[in-house]
A and B are shown apart, each in its own frame.
Chain A
Amino acid sequence: MSLHDRSGLGPNLDVEDLVVIRPDQLNDLIARLGDLGYETKGPTIGDGAIVPGAVRGTSDLPVGARDAQSPGRYRLEYSDDGHLFEWAVGARSWKAEFFAPRERQWRAVIVDGTLRFTEPTKSARPLAIIGARPCEVAAISVLDEVLMNGACPDTGYDARREGLFVVVAECTAPGGTCFCASMGSGPSAGPGFDLALLELDDADGHRFVVRVGTARGAEVMAGVSSTSATDADVAARAQALDRSINRMHRHLQTEGLAALLARSMESPRWDQIAERCLSCGNCTLVCPTCFCSDFRDTTDVSGAVERTRTWSSCFDLDHSYLHGGPVRASTSSRYRQWMSHKLSTWWDQFDTSGCVGCGRCITWCPVGIDITEEAAAIRGDDEAARAVHVEEEAR
């Protein structure tokens, strides 16, 4: 038994401890979570992309997958190196797990002249996500503020959210549209995880440095054999994260951005974006924090009434429909609403950014509209306008 062997010493693990496991032990970790009663899910390959799915062992993960992402384009390639997490974010966020695209709120029937309401039963089985990305974990906390801790909690959200166990996979291969470093949500994991993995494959072999995030995480790791991280492991981990930041070529200048957008409501850029924007809503639907929904009451032939919540989008004309017509009738006003909410008014409303920099809205926009590019253009227009103003004042 080597000096660093911690097998069986799990209970001694503390929050912030670093240990090392091999792929086989990651497999044990997944199995252990299953044994503890969790429904285990994680990134899988489906329809040519990385998507959430059932994960019962490492072979269900995207083995050897590499993603190429750019505005409006996503492709997967494969390597035979067996790496599990050498890709960035997948096509879908984890949002749908807690906030289903479509959910019945209640059903009412008239029995003997009185209305009887029934609500759907809530799922009792806790969820464990293995391999969520740091930005995705950050996005879950953003959603918590809206759908769990906010003024109008969602009826189904907390049931699924409660008891969630998160194993985050820190990023060593940021995608072509990622900008989490600008948003402070990656590539290393912030708060909100139970265990954080960082995949390494060097002279010391294919392994994962595991950082313990919670007491619950420590308990789960207690059942999995691991070794303490060596100085070399710690240094390799730090290097991998540094490299990851350096490889991230997309940035969003956040300094003063909220105020900048607030004073740019009349920017000519909105109309220019609207020439390209399809108003299709894809950006909002792939966004891990967009929460807009629609509530519809319908009747059926028996006279029963049902209320259903569905995902909606600020790009849907009906979304701002008030008496007489939509408040945001033009595409430019709808894009402006979306972007200024994400980057500006979300701060006023929830005291956080509504964007975590995952880049999905850029990749999955069918025409490749890029939120970072548009924000930079609006900043440029604003600076130019202010320079003219200063010049005029001086004259």
Chain B
Amino acid sequence: MHDFLQDVRFALRMLRKAPAFTIAALVVLALGIGATSAIFSVVNAVVLRPLPYPDSDRIVVIHQDFRTAGLDEMAFGIPEYHDFRDQNRSLEAVAAYQLRDKNLASVDPPERLLVATVSPAFFPVLKIEAAPGRVFTPDEAKAGNDRVVLLSHALWQRRFGGDTSIVGRSVALSGEPYTVVGVLPRGFVLPQKVDVWVPLAPTELESSEERRNWRNYDLLARLKTGVSVEQAQEDLTALRRRMNEEHEGAAPGTSQLLVKVRTLKDFTVGETQTTLVFLLGAVAFVLLIACANVANLLLARAAVRQREIAVRAALGAGSGRIAVQFLVESAVLAVLGGALGLLLALWGVDALVAIDPDRLPRAEEIHLDGVVVAFTLGVSLVTGLVFGVIPAIHASRVDPADVLKEGSRGTAGGRMGRFRNALVVAQIALALMLLAGAGLMTRSLTAMARMPLGFEPEGVLTAKLAITNPRYKEDKAKAAFARDLLARVRNLPGVAGAGITTNLPISVRYSQSFRIEGKTPAEHERWPYAVHREITPGYLEAMRVPLIEGRMLSDQDHEDAPRAVVVNQALVKTYFPEGSAVGRRIRPPCGDDEKTCPFRTIVGVVGDVREVSSEETIAPTFYASYAQGPWHNLNIVIRTSQDPLSLVAALRSEIRALDREQPIYDVLPMQARVEQRLGPRRFALEVLSVFAITALILAAVGLYGVTSYMVTQRTREFGIRLALGAEARDILGMVLKRSLVLAGIGIGVGLAASLALSRVMASVIYGVSERDPLTLAIACPVLAAAAMLASFFPARRATRVPPAIALRSE
């Protein structure tokens, strides 16, 4: 122990004695460790740390998997929910929930709220309590008792000033009074960014067998103690199979339904996990480069300190003792670097979260905590061991007799030189891999951005409204609202066109099975499936979706007119391969009664619109007339020749004039939505680019350091060569060639490793081959150029060695 403290003290003294070395090493270490800690903070909060609910690993989300129809996250009908709730053998409690929009109008300005309709079991499943107040009682799940509401902590603070007397008071949601029964804990927003919760009280009709396939609810459940996700999956799948048999024929085409059980965490974190784990891997490369860099600096110092080491050895220090002393020095260095890295991570975490806070799940939970600090300390110590072990071994092998001999410094090559070279090669190889990765991602994003969308987002303003007030209960009222709003908007100066859709492209989409007149699918044949949305006249025109055949929807397709739809080319190609679709009729799965569920005539065919950024093929889609099937979720799109945002104020005042209690939200230019869809990939790219540039700089600095050190070590040799008649360019060439060889080997190793790891890349890129030759062809010369630049200055120094140095004894 005493020895150890003495070693630490000595280490600190040595670091103070060589400030240039110490600063260089600390900067490199802080960069490597800081980046690692920052990424780890995010991974820890998002992926590793359990959700903040008791026994959260037992909370699962259940969906139906209708793979044959390309749907893997289908919801449940109320009768299905009841079957699963009552007949399962693996779940302790099951709750159903649905997200809805409602408008809070009792305060000014009116605000659109995201509402979760949840069965009372929802909170016991999560083991969440309300304070002040209470969560829902089972009794409140009965129609008539259900006008109660729970507020999110944020809404309570924002709109009600955190007043505890709110419990028991009444608030108006979309024009209807609800009694507040409680406030949920700070940060609780499940299922996603929810403002208020109301009890799910299914109507008799909703619970009836007739509505078995009206699938509107997702399920949240708590596993019984000791039951694994896989066991629950098995249990529920068996149950689903039994139900398929029981209800065969009742719902044609859905007899292949399966069940998908995931932990709530997997469901919440989703794809982000892949990205984050990928980035954690990438940052490990940066850390390794930093290690190699510092190891090289230490080796250089060990060489300078040969005499000290030899004297220690001559005084009787065993080789183990000397190695330990060097390791202690490395560890001290690493811990100091780690402390600096932690400061850097503090800032880095904020920067990471700031890139895309909306799309990063659990972003509000991300911060440096004890786990991160412990991780950083661990990483620092391991780092110290990794970069310290080679110099330590080297130091322990110094032969005292060797060093005390005069003039034996000439043998600059040897074992240590090879280590140093290998370290540089490793740095270059790692940097190439990161560069190639960032390059591939850039190319992938460009490819995605270039994919034709099928519409023109520039010059389009979009905004959302939910017309949930009882005054819009009737379809006619909804249709009238839409018509009036559009009439007002079209009269605004600078507006070239406007329309309304129930769903924008590049957002959630709803699919529906349908039936083609004159075609009956065989029992096990897949039913036709299509994405559908309701639109007003002018929507497709405002988006500049081209008409291919027939006509667009127009005012003639009003509520009393025959049902009309427009379809996209993909639908024609898939379901009418024999020829024209115009004039053919389709019917949604609402029954066989032509009175209540009439066939819809295809009146026109329009161009395909890309719905999801990464989709290779475009889904069949039909657009129905909004007036013939209105819905409370509206998206207004306005085409203008001006800056779209310049219309926002006018749009707001038109809506106010129409209904002063009606809020709009999510006002964005369409172009911004298009860019958002690249969100998670852009996040990964931005972080990876920072890593790649850091890696490039570290590798270049590493090569500079090695070359510089080599030139210093071999000053005399260059003097001798000059004395023997070498010219400056011989020396320059010699040094540069050596660097180029190192860089070349590094690039070669890096290329091979990149190709070996291309499978990993494939998981995060799209639209470009993970072995894209162009990217690699660019990454290599970039690195080679950096290597040349890094060694040019030391090389030039070598040419300026005075040849007379050869005459001097050392």
State yes or no: do A and B come from one complex.
no
Which B residues fall within an 8 A CB radius of A? none
Which A residues fall within an 8 A CB radius of B? none
